[in-house]
Amino acid sequence: MTVNVGVIGAGMIGLEHLRRLTTSVTGARVTAVNDIDQARAAQAAAEAPGARVADSPHELIDAVDAVVVTSWGPSHEEHVLACIAAGTPVFCEKPLATTADACLRIVEAEQAHGSRLVQVGFMRRYDTGYQALRDAVTSGEIGAPLIVHCAHRNADVPDTYTSDMAVHDTAIHEIDTLRWLLGEDFVAAGAVLPRRSSRAAAHLIDPQILLLETTSGARIDIEVNVNCAYGYDIRCEVVGETGVRQLPDLVTADWRERFGPAFDAELLQWVESVAAGRTTGPSSWDGYAAAVTADALVAAVREQRQVAITMKDRPEVYR
Ligand code: NAP
């Protein structure tokens, strides 16, 4: 079966996903594209043989087997809810939605539907380095995890980047990956602010050290440093009771180069799960958990205090 995919949002990553689905991911073809800017949608559709421009997100959803949502964050909720209402599987780029309440509305709609339809674009779970770290934890090879040290460094960021985005847009990847890697939720957030980088824009708190505590008492520190000048550098070291493992030492120009193979694997797995009629991968619940954690970290940075992280009970459909 070839899965007919519609793409809502033909910006930077929408175009990348369209190209992947057209050239390297087997089992799917892009048949419809929609963007708030229809000229941009037409340019993107021209790159996928047989694809057309859909007049509206709703018209697109009705015409395809599955949807990729790559519009800007504030419109994700509307598009994902429309997919759920139509019973159509949907891959939504992170963030699932821009507030924890909006994520919860998606969770509730999926629950009412009775089974999973949504996969969230937390692609680091498909990175071979992170998978090896997770194997080392789940196999017991390094003993119980005690501490995780992470760094998320970018050479620079545009002027539109804000201090809150250091959490909501940047560390959101660590937040999801660490929940998955350790198999635990978080109970508390904190933050330590070092001396500000002279390279950071005047409005920006950079770098930031974000702190998390898991249910078992493991501690995590995440350095977010988005003006590091030298490149894109993602680090993660898990300290267990009997051993230590870390990601390979890789500095690249940007995230596309660093996580290209993970994006490929992520979309391939999504297409295969759609063809099999069973959505897997990062769920709406994971999107909700990440949003709740991100909100707590933003409060910890702003108010310079420890913030408790509390979540609703996980519904049966996500167990
Ligand atoms: P972008 O280049 O701004 O693209 C978003 C596109 O969606 C733009 O063409 C935008 O049009 C369009 N759009 C906005 N509202 C829409 C609506 N209501 N209906 C249809 N189209 C709409 O942004 P991007 O960098 O591709 O990011 C898109 C999403 O992917 C974001 O949620 C971002 O966080 C996520 N992302 C994830 C990763 C990752 O590592 N997984 C990396 C990059 C981005 P206008 O420009 O005219 O508003």
231 lines ligand 1 (CB under 6 A): no
10 lines ligand 1 (CB under 6 A): yes
**From the alpha carbon of 34, which atom of ligand 1 is closest?**
20
Q: What's the pLDDT at 104?
A: 98
**From the alpha carbon of 169, which atom of ligand 1 is closest?**
34
Stated as kind and residue range, the H or E segment containing 32 is strand 28-34
9 lines ligand 1 (CB under 6 A): yes
- Choose among 192, 180, 251: nearest CA to 221: 192
Q: How far is the CA of 94 from the centre of ligand 1 (A)?
A: 10
Q: What's the pLDDT at 1?
A: 85
Q: What's the pLDDT at 119?
A: 98
Q: How far is the CA of 168 from the centre of ligand 1 (A)?
A: 15
Q: What's the pLDDT at 211?
A: 98
- Choose among 116, 125, 55, 54: nearest CA to 94: 125
Stated as kind and residue range, the H or E segment containing 91 is strand 90-92
| CB contact at 8 A, 307 and 189 | yes
Q: Which of 7, 8, 13, 78 to mutate to test the pocket of ligand 1 (most atoms within 8 A of CB)?
A: 13
Report the predicted TM-score, pTM, of the whole model to 2 decimal places: 0.96
Q: How far is the CA of 73 from the centre of ligand 1 (A)?
A: 7
Strands 3-8 and 28-34, bridge-based pairing: parallel
Measured CA to CA, the distance from residue 65 to residue 63 in angstroms comes to: 7
Tally DSSP H helices, then E strands, for the chain: 10, 14
Q: How far is the CA of 246 from the centre of ligand 1 (A)?
A: 32
The two tokens of residue 245 are 């493992």
Predicted confidence pLDDT, tens digits, the chain (319 residues): 899 999 999 999 999 999 999 999 999 999 999 999 999 999 999 999 999 999 999 999 999 999 999 999 999 999 999 999 999 999 999 999 999 999 999 999 999 999 999 999 999 999 999 999 999 999 999 999 999 999 999 999 999 999 999 999 999 999 999 999 999 999 999 999 999 999 999 999 999 999 999 999 999 999 999 999 999 999 999 999 999 999 999 999 999 999 999 999 999 999 999 999 999 999 999 999 999 999 999 999 999 999 999 999 999 999 8
Q: What's the pLDDT at 57?
A: 98
| CB contact at 8 A, 301 and 205 | yes
Who contacts 137 (Cβ-Cβ below 8 Å, separation ≥6)? 145, 181, 182, 183, 238, 240
Q: What's the pLDDT at 197?
A: 97
Q: How far is the CA of 10 from the centre of ligand 1 (A)?
A: 7
| CB contact at 8 A, 148 and 182 | yes
- Choose among 172, 182, 245: nearest CA to 218: 182
- Choose among 261, 257, 256, 197: nearest CA to 225: 197
Q: What's the pLDDT at 66?
A: 98
The phi-psi region of residue 296 (left if phi > 0; otherwise alpha if psi is between -120 and 50; otherwise beta) is: alpha
56 lines ligand 1 (CB under 6 A): no
Q: Which of 8, 55, 71 to mutate to test the pocket of ligand 1 (most atoms within 8 A of CB)?
A: 71
**132-171: string of b/e by CB count within 10 Å (b at 16+)?**
ebbebbeeeebeebeebbbbbbbbebeeebebebbbbbbb
**Which amino acid belongs to residue 206?**
D
13 lines ligand 1 (CB under 6 A): yes
Q: What's the pLDDT at 31?
A: 98
The closest residue, in CA terms, to atom 25 on ligand 1 is 12
Q: What's the pLDDT at 319?
A: 87
Q: What's the pLDDT at 311?
A: 96
Measured CA to CA, the distance from residue 210 to residue 154 in angstroms comes to: 16
- Choose among 260, 170, 166: nearest CA to 207: 166
255 lines ligand 1 (CB under 6 A): yes
The closest residue, in CA terms, to atom 41 on ligand 1 is 121
Q: What's the pLDDT at 6?
A: 98
